Amino acid sequence: MSGRVFRFAPSSTSRQHPRHLFVFLHGCGATAQSMIPIAFRFQARFPSAALVVPSGFNPDARGGAAQDWYPTRGLNCDNHRERVASVLPDVEDLVRREQTNFGVPANRTVLVGFSQGGTVALEAVKGPGCLAGAVVAFSSRFAQTPARGSHIASRIHLVHGEFDSVVSRVYAERAARVLTGLHVPCTLDIVEHDGHELSHRAICLGSLRLLQGIYEGRRATLH
């Protein structure tokens, strides 16, 4: 694994120990720094959350400071899942290490990803065990749609631009149908007039759905 990892303590001064851990995964050919403003937007709604913003694992794919999580040259439907799978052990190691560092369990961890980072987040929670309690995926898709009988222990919140020409909204709509069929808690928001972007409206919707999901989870444990 290469690249920098940015860490931010909770903004709430009344809580020394983080209640949640949010891990932010940037898009293709971007940088960890590009996700820091988005991370702070989430922390404004979750002041007791610690933030981790890592750099992608494939720094040579684009050159310079821009990084990918996995190579995109020659990427197609046949090798997409394989390429994502090759980086998942490093992603899991990163998340588990940060969970230990901050003392936050998996069920209070949230993966937030945009584009390629969202794909990594979605694929990371398909495996056995629970890596994160929730995923917020912006303008993303599964590398391979979950198979019938799959067990996913995370809540999934999908936010997608109506006019996304890089990752079609069709992928998000298909994922929502499949996840619902698997009885995985899932929300889907198609943001009108948005393309392949992290707009103010999209970020607000993603953080709101996450808040609503956490509230619903708490309420369910009270009955």
Catalytic-residue membership of 194: no
**CB-based contacts of 211-217 (< 8 A; 24+ apart in sequence):** 211/45, 211/46, 212/187, 213/134, 213/155, 213/157, 213/185, 213/187, 214/134, 216/185, 217/133, 217/155
Strands 186-191 and 155-161: parallel
Catalytic-residue membership of 200: no
SS3 7: strand
For 42, the enclosing helix (H) or strand (E) is helix 36-45
Catalytic-residue membership of 183: no
Catalytic pick among 80, 157, 164, 207: 164
Look-up of token digits 């929670």: 125
Return the structure tokens found at 182: 């698997």
Say if residues 47 and 8 touch (Cβ distance below 8 Å).
Answer: no
Catalytic pick among 20, 55, 115, 157: 115
Catalytic center residues: 115, 164, 196
